[in-house]
Amino acid sequence: MNMYERTNKISMLLEKIAEELDIPESLYLEAKNRYESVGDWLSKGDSLLTVYNPEIYPQGSFLLGTVIKPISNKDEYDIDLVCFLADLDKSETSQSELKSIVGTRLKENDTYERLLDEEGRRCWTLNYANEFHMDILPAIADLDLQKIGGLHQDAILITDKKKIDQGDVDWPKSNPKGYAKWFFSRQEVIYMAIKKQLADLLKASIDDIPNYKVKTPLQRAIQVLKRHRDIFFSRKHSEHKPISIIITTLTAEIYQGQENIYSAIYDILQAINEDIVKQNGNFSIKNPVNRDENFADKWNEDEKLPLAFFDWINSARDTFCRDVLKKEKDLEMMDVLKENLGFNIKMDRNIDSKKIETPVYIKVNDLQNRRPWGNE
């Protein structure tokens, strides 16, 4: 097997693994059902919140399509929801009031009251045992930022217990919808291409393909990298595990439309280094839709965090850019991937050889004036 065939093979193995890492479709639909019910409860019927024109929408990996299985079967999937009250202005309320009106409504439902966890710093959490925990983030519009328009038009203000204790000023900012728009803009072309492929395959109209069924190499790469991180930090210093948003942001920033998952992972790992996460000597990974927010804020307070991050990046580089590339046989490649991506996922070695992609040829028609020479 030459290098090209080898990397194609690895890419297909990773594709299979990523499918296994993803939330199963039935569970995805169940989660969707669950959060729509919660949404209905919060926003409809006799809910007091109705007057504030509420909207419940998912955020984070659930919205981005980068959810992965927890490494232990005992753990639950994370689902993050925003409970956005469109017609409530910050001048009419406070963080503590916003948090409590959402909490109160949840508690009015016997089921939800039973599932409700202790109050979180920013969210209310519903625990569906052995399935999900659902974080519900109360939010209102950030009118100052929304005026600017563009990706800011979905900017929101959220609550924070710490800020409430400090006198309930300074609303924390967030913008999950804007972030998702930015994220999808990073993979727009390939996303549409895959969607069309899928529609052709199923002989369906492109509009009938639900978005969650489309998975780009960027989304797959993030899933694989997050999994590699989970396994790496399950073995040591889990308290320094880098947060997903850092991995997602760096990966999406570096992604250039690579058409296979291996190339995407390879290029991302080659490009991540100290220089791209530093600015004026400080660690800085900016939120692409809010330049004031630094996802790596904590790295500047605790040097163990960036050290752990680069420890992990180096380990991922060893796995994907070195060890697996050295293997000639499928089984050996699989062993490397298995060791680093965990054991509780099914690994199918049967690969559809028709899926081998055609390489891009460098076209050169003009010969350059070169005359070889030899000294032997």
Partner 1 sequence: MNIVQKQFLDLRKKYPYLYLQKNPQGFIIEGTIFIESNNIKEQYEIEINISEKYPTQIPCVKEIGGKIPKDFHHNQGYFCLETPFAVWEIFRKKETLLNFVDNLVVPYLLSYIFFKVSGKLPFGEHPHGAEGVLKDYKARFNVKDDLLMLNLLRILAENNYRGHQPCPCGSQKKLSKCHGKNIYHIIVDEKWVGFNFMKDYLMIICLLKENNVINGISKYCSKKVKHTLNKIKYNPNEKWGY
Q: How far is the CB of 275 from partner 1 (least distance, A)?
A: 6
d(C-alpha 222, C-alpha 236), whole Å: 21
Q: How far is the CB of 365 from partner 1 (least distance, A)?
A: 6
Angle among Cα 199, 59, 317 to the nearest 5 degrees reads 80
CB nearer to partner 1: pick between 76 and 267: 267
Q: How far is the CB of 376 from partner 1 (least distance, A)?
A: 6
Count of positions (residues) in the chain: 376
Q: How far is the CB of 253 from partner 1 (least distance, A)?
A: 14
CA dist 65 → 178, 210, 212, 222, 334 (Å): 15, 12, 6, 10, 25
d(C-alpha 225, C-alpha 243), whole Å: 12
CB nearer to partner 1: pick between 81 and 337: 337
Q: How far is the CB of 236 from partner 1 (least distance, A)?
A: 24
Q: How far is the CB of 240 from partner 1 (least distance, A)?
A: 23
CB nearer to partner 1: pick between 263 and 290: 263
CB nearer to partner 1: pick between 240 and 278: 278
Q: How far is the CB of 276 from partner 1 (least distance, A)?
A: 9
Tell me which residue of 142, 123, 114 sits closest to 83, measured CA to CA. Answer: 123
Q: How far is the CB of 80 from partner 1 (least distance, A)?
A: 33
Give the single-character DSSP code of 369.
-
Residues that bind partner 1 (CB under 8 A): 2-4, 7, 256, 258, 263, 266-267, 270-271, 273-275, 321-322, 325, 359-365, 367-376
Q: How far is the CB of 307 from partner 1 (least distance, A)?
A: 17
Question: Half-sphere exposure (CA, 13 Å, Cβ side) for 188?
Answer: 5
- Give me the residue label for tokens 């054991």: 343
Torsion of CA 22, 158, 152, 216, to 10 degrees: 0
CB nearer to partner 1: pick between 275 and 301: 275
Q: Is the dihedral of CA 221, 339, 344, 246 positive or negative?
A: negative
CB nearer to partner 1: pick between 350 and 369: 369
Task: Give the orientation angle of helix 304-317 with respect to helix 217-235, to 10 degrees.
Answer: 120
Angle among Cα 187, 79, 293 to the nearest 5 degrees reads 60
CB nearer to partner 1: pick between 30 and 267: 267
d(C-alpha 58, C-alpha 334), whole Å: 35
CB nearer to partner 1: pick between 115 and 356: 356
Residue-wise burial string across 307-319, b where 16 or more C-beta atoms lie within 10 A, e elsewhere: ebbbbbbebbbeb
d(C-alpha 8, C-alpha 10), whole Å: 5
Measured from the Cβ of residue 14, the count of other Cβ atoms closer than 10 Å reads: 26
Q: Is the dihedral of CA 237, 242, 247, 250 positive or negative?
A: negative
CB nearer to partner 1: pick between 169 and 360: 360
